[in-house]
Structures are given as structure tokens and as C-alpha cells.
Amino acid sequence: MTRRLHLNAFLMNTGHHEASWRLPESDPYAHVDLAHYVGLARIAERGTFDSLFLADGPQLWNDIAQRPSGALEPLTLLTALATATEHIGLIATASTSYNSPYNLARRFASLDIVSGGRAGWNIVTTAGAEAARNFGLDAEPAHAERYARAAEFLDVALKLWDSWEDDAIVGDKAAGVWGDDAKIHPPRHKGRYFSVAGALNVPRTPQGYPLLVQAGSSEDGKAFAARYAEAVFTAQQTLADAQAFYADLKSRTAAAGRDPEHIKVLPGIVPVIGSTEAEARANEQVLEDHIVPAHGLARLERLLQLKPGTLELDRQLPADLPSEDAVEGAKSRYTLIVQLARRERLTVRRLIGRLGGGRGHLTFAGTPEQVADAIGTWFTQGAADGFNIMPAVLPSGLETFVEQVVPILRARGLLRTEYGPRRTLRDRYGLPRPANQYALRENALV
């Protein structure tokens, strides 16, 4: 079978560029407008994307003055989108640090059922004290602690999703027997972080469980991805870095005893498209001109975990920044930004401009052909199984991509031309439906 690109639409209110909301076309209330998101989902479906995706964190950032803040809770929004779409996968971010496995496993199972097998979970451990303080803690748990909890959370969730065998429902009306107790497997889990005794109160779902997605690229993050993830979102600035990451993750996955084909690597790309190179660069400049420099400065300081007032707009980053080991959360993003600034000797002002669109993801300004070339190169040269498309402005950036880049990718045989008969999100990504761990165990005994 021809290897094909997997495309994920990373949706974010008026777009990924921090100043996108200030453009004339943008609606400052888009973040809470269901119709806005329905429109985006339908555009992505016209582009035969595999999935769409919502980032999330359970806190309100303190920059409400500067740009749209807050968002509809992702599983709620995706449930509404499930009813407005037919094919596209629906990936929600949810935190293992600030949820309980029983509730979250049930919600993803419910979305998987309601959407006919299109649910995905972007598993995050949630960095930052702001979130911790909304859940009874004074400070965020340490990075390693968060990942240890995440691993136990996943083990419990997988037990819950398997707690009904696929044929647990009998429905024998004459005998008055609805279900088969022998096919129900309460986890009876007692661990370091969680005790969960009973079976889930939702049957096994079309996909068995949601597609498991992960986006942390720290050491802990990569180890976690190798063990659990079926798709990985990553920020990579150069082909060489992306190739190294790709090879590393595939080999870690094989080392964990899994088929490396069963983990799909999707770097993020912010395509800024123009009919000529000059037009694309001009479009990029319009966005950069809308950034309020003081806001960008404050955000960069937060991202690098520096005290306010550390950075100066027209100088480069200070030479004595801490190493990745010393920062908590978003470790790999930290390193990526510092390396980008050093490699290109960027002033803080230029760095803010470069980060304004993608927060560390690759911004690529060019013609539709150039964007398709870049995607094709990364895809065929061992750097990507697909891409996380992060339009700078929404909906127009997604529309332009689907109307101008997608046809080129299709003509080159890199992208499906229609969805075809298979329905689940795992089908789209070419992944098998997972077997039930308890049914497997029984069969092994036979």
C-alpha cells in the first residue's frame, strides 16, 4: 500500500499567530463560537485531513488583555463537532495530573461511541503552577513525578477501557439476561497514585479506546511516547533535527516492544501562503506588525521561565541561560527556542516575530508549491509521517491550505483523495484496533 501523509488540523480560535485576532477578518469571540469551529472542521474534512486537534490547559493565563483567552472545554467542543462531521478524527487534550482516570476514561469512551470511533486523546501532564493552584496544590508537581503519574493513569485507563469485553452484552430478552458477568473485568487497581476498583460504566467502544497522542519531546516525554503513543506531535525547526527525532522515536518504540509503524510522527508547521514568495513574506510581515512588542516580551520571558524584565528587545538572549535540566515543564521547547535564537543570532524582537506564529513550531512562508515541496521533503526523507497543520490565521489559513496545497499533495500521490469506507480514527492513521487485554489473557489460557 502506498504510504500517505497524515494531516492533523490544530485548531486555535482565530489562528496560531498571537496577533491573528487583530486582523479585520477575525472575530474576537471566535474562541467560544461553535459555528466557527464547525466551519473549521468542515474545511478540514474537505481537505481529507485525518484529524483535528485542540490544545488545552486547566487555567486562565494572565494575558487576557493581550489576546483571546480561555476556550470551550475540548471534549465538549469535540462532541459537538462529532455531530457536525462524518469522517474526521477528533483529538482532545486532557491532563493526567488534574483528572481522575475513571471520569476521563469514561468521557473519552463516550466521545468514541458518539463519534462512531473518531476519538483521540492528546495526553498531557500539564506544566505550570497556575494549573496546580486550581486543583488544591501550591506548586506544580515535579516533571518526573508528573510523568510517573501519567504512566499509572494510562495503565488504569487501559484497564477501564478493556473492562468490558467486546461481546459482554448478550441482550437475551427471552431469558432475561442482558449482560455476561464473566466478560466484565473490574481493574481492582491499587497503585501509587490511584485506586480504582470497578469496571467502567460504558461498554468497549468502536476503537477499543481513543487514539493515544502525545506531544512532549523531553526525555520523559519520549520514553512515555515510545511506550503508549500512537501519534506524536512535535516542534522541529530543521530537517536534520526532525530526522534525528523521528529516528530516535521509532527506535525507542521498537525497543519498547512495539511496531515502529504504529507510532506516527507529526511535526507542526505554520504555513503562511502567498501566490508568490514575496506575497507570502508580506503576509507574514502583516502578522508580525500586529504583535505588541511588550506583550511578546512578557510571553517569551514566561516561556523561558525568566523573571520579568530580564530580556531587552534589541539585544540577543543573555549568554547565561539555565540548561534544559534546570527548567520545569516544556523542556524540549525551551531548548528549541534557545537554539533557534543562537543559531540565527536573533535579537529578542526578531525572535518574538519568529515565534509569534508557531511558538517554536516551524513557520514556513512560501507559495503553495513551496509548502507542498517542504512537506514532501520531510515526509519522504525520514522526518515525518505527516504534519500538524497550524494555520497562522483561522479560518482563512486553513481554507487556503486546503484549496491550494492539498490539490498539489493529492496530484503528487502523497495525500488521499477521499476518505473511503473505513471509519475510525485508527483506520485513518493505518493503525490496528487494539485487542482487549483481558480477552487476550483468557485466550492464552485456552
- Window 324-363: contact mask with a second copy (x via CB under 8 A): ----------------------------------------
Out of 290, 302, 350, 423, name the contact with a second copy by CB under 8 A.
Answer: 290
Nearer to a second copy among residue 125 and residue 217 (C-beta): 125
The stretch among 178-186, 220-228, 246-254, 296-304 that binds a second copy (CB under 8 A) is 178-186
CA angle 63, 395, 235 (to 5 degrees): 60
CB of 140 to a second copy, least distance (A): 13
Cis peptide before 395 (omega within 30 of 0): yes
- Amino acid identity, residue 118? R
CB of 114 to a second copy, least distance (A): 5
Kindly tell me which of 65 and 445 has the beta carbon lying closer to a second copy. 65
Closer residue to a second copy (CB): 68 or 357:
68
From candidates 3, 46, 60, 440, binder to a second copy by CB under 8 A:
60
Beta partners for residue 92, in sequence order: 54, 121
> Nearer to a second copy by C-beta: 198 or 432?
198
β-pairing verdict for 6-11 and 51-54: parallel
For the chain, first and last CA: distance in Å? 35
Out of 169, 244, 303, 306, name the contact with a second copy by CB under 8 A: 169
Nearest distance, CB of residue 22 and a second copy, angstroms: 4
Q: Which of residues 94-123 bind a second copy (CB under 8 A)?
A: 98-100, 102-103, 106-107, 109-111, 113-114
* Count, residues near a second copy per rule CB under 8 A: 77
Q: Please state the closest distance from residue 203 (CB atom) to a second copy, in A.
A: 6
Compare residues 21 and 401 and give the one whose CB is closer to a second copy. Answer: 21
Output the CA–CA distances (angstroms, integers) from residue 175 to 47, 167, 169, 401, in the order listed: 50, 17, 13, 57
CB of 165 to a second copy, least distance (A): 12
- Nearer of residues 59 and 335 to a second copy, judged by Cβ: 59
Chain residues 21-50 in contact with a second copy, contact rule CB under 8 A: 21-24, 26, 28-29, 32, 34
Please report how close the Cβ of residue 156 comes to a second copy at its closest, in angstroms.
Answer: 10
71 counts as binding a second copy under rule CB under 8 A:
yes
Q: Are 271 and 378 in contact (CB under 8 A)?
A: no
162 CB burial (10 A radius; 0-12, 13-18, 19+) = buried
For residue 247, give Cα distances in angstroms to 122, 253, 376.
21, 10, 17
Dist. CA 229–CA 335, nearest whole Å: 23
Which residue lies nearer to a second copy by CB, 192 or 307? 192
Sign of the Cα pseudo-torsion (265, 287, 400, 420, in order): positive
Q: What is the distance between the alpha carbons of residues 300 and 306, in angstroms, rounded to a whole number?
A: 8
Strand pairing category for 189-190 and 195-196: antiparallel
Shortest distance, CB of residue 206 to a second copy, whole angstroms? Answer: 10
Give how far Cα 38 sits from Cα of 43, 201, 393, Å: 9, 30, 16
121 or 401: whose CB is closer to a second copy? 121
Contact region with a second copy (CB under 8 A), list: 70-78, 229-237, 333-341, 400-408: 70-78
- Residue numbers 143-162 binding a second copy by CB under 8 A: none
Cβ distance 214 to 228 under 8 Å?
yes
d(CA 333, CA 355): 11
